[in-house]
Amino acid sequence: MGQIIACANQKGGVGKTTTVVNLSTYLALAGDTVLVIDLDPQGNTTSGFGLDRSEIEHSIYEAIIEDAAVADLVVATEIPGLSIVPSSISLAGAEVELAPLPQRERRLSRILADLAGTYDYILLDCPPSLGLLTVNALTAADAVVIPIQCEYYALEGLSQLIATINLVRNHLNPELAIKGVVLTMFDPRTNLSSEVDAEVRKHLGSAVFDTIIPRSVRLSEAPSYGLPIALYRPDSKGAEAYAALAAELRERDGRPAPVARSVSIPAGRKAAEQNAAPEVGPR
C-alpha cells in the first residue's frame, strides 16, 4: 500500500519545498515510485524539477476545483519513477473557491483515492499557511513531515501547527501520524543551530529525524537550474543529507536501505552544472 506524506509548516522559508523535491528524488532513486503534488500557488516545487511554469497546461487546481481526473494531470520528471502534478497560479484562488464547496476539506483526499496503489509514496508540498489547501493535504495524508529551520524562533508556531494536526485528527483524519520533524539549514559553525537541535529534541524526542539537513549553498542553487540536488551536485553535503533522510524515512517504514543507483545529469543541463561557482563555506 502506498503512503501519502504531507510536508507542512505554516512558516515560509523553512525548507518544505527543498525537502519535498530532494526527499522525493532520493526515494525514487531508491526504487520507489513517487508522485509529488505541488499545492503551493508559488509553484517552487514545480520549477524545482525544471518544469517551465509558463508552459504548464494542467495543474492540481483542475482536480481540486474543477473535478478533473488527477491521473490526467501527472507529468513525468527527469528522475525515473518520479512524477509530479504541478501547481499553477490559479491555486491562489483555490482557498476562496473551496470555502463554499461541500466536503471542502476532503476534496484532495477524494481525488487521491483514485490513485490508491499506484505509487509507493505521494508527497504533498503545502503552502505556507494553515488554510484550506494545507487542511486538505493533512486530511488526505497518512503522515506529516514537518521541517523546522534551525533559527532563533524555530519552535514558534509549532504549537499552532500541532493544534491544527490535532483538529484534523479529531474531525477529519483520525489516522494522521507525525512521520517526523526534520531540522533544516543547520549551520555547525553556530551555537544557535546546536541549541535549536537540543531544544527541538527535548520537546519532540523521537519524532525528530536523526538526519539533519545542513545549510548548503548547493541546495539553494539547485532550484535555479531546475534540478534536484541529486542531479545538480550529488557529492555535496546537502545531497548526502537528503539521501540519508530518504533512507531514514524508509527505515521508519520498515523498508530496506536504498539501493544506490547512478544518476546522470540530463544533456543540456550540464553546461549549467559546469558554470556553477565552486561552493564556499559548508559544502
- The residue ranges that bind ligand ADP (CB under 6 A) are 12-18, 44, 128, 184-185, 213, 215-216, 219-220, 223, 238
Amino acid at position 32, single letter: D
Residue whose CB is less far from ligand ADP, 176 or 245: 245
Q: Smallest gap, in angstroms, from Cβ of residue 82 to ligand ADP? A: 17
> CA 45 to CA 228: how far, in whole Å?
10
Shortest Å distance, C-beta 125 to ligand ADP: 7
Q: What's at 68, amino acid-wise?
A: A
Question: Quick check: 11 binds Mg ion (CB under 5 A)?
Answer: no
Cell 487546481 -> residue: 61
In 3-state terms, what secondary structure has residue 199? helix
Least distance to ligand ADP, CB of residue 154, Å? 13
Q: Sort strands 82-85 and 75-76 into parallel, antiparallel or unpaired.
A: antiparallel
Binding track, positions 15-44, relative to Mg ion; x by CB under 5 A: -xx--------------------------x
* Residue 282 CB, nearest approach to ligand ADP (Å): 9
Number of chain positions touching Mg ion (CB under 5 A): 3
Residue placing its CB nearer to Mg ion in the complex, 62 or 125: 125
Residue 218 CB, nearest approach to Mg ion (Å): 18
Alpha-carbon distance 163 to 92, whole Å?
Answer: 24
Alpha carbon dihedral 8, 159, 175, 135, in 10-degree steps, equals -50
Using the minimum distance from each CB to ligand ADP, give the nearer residue, 25 or 216.
216
CA–chain centroid gap for 79, Å, is 16
Half-sphere exposure of 207 (CA within 13 A, CB side): 18
- The C-alpha cell at 214 is 545542513
In the complex with Mg ion, which residue's Cβ is closer, 183 or 265? Answer: 183
Write out the residues near Mg ion by the rule CB under 5 A.
16-17, 44
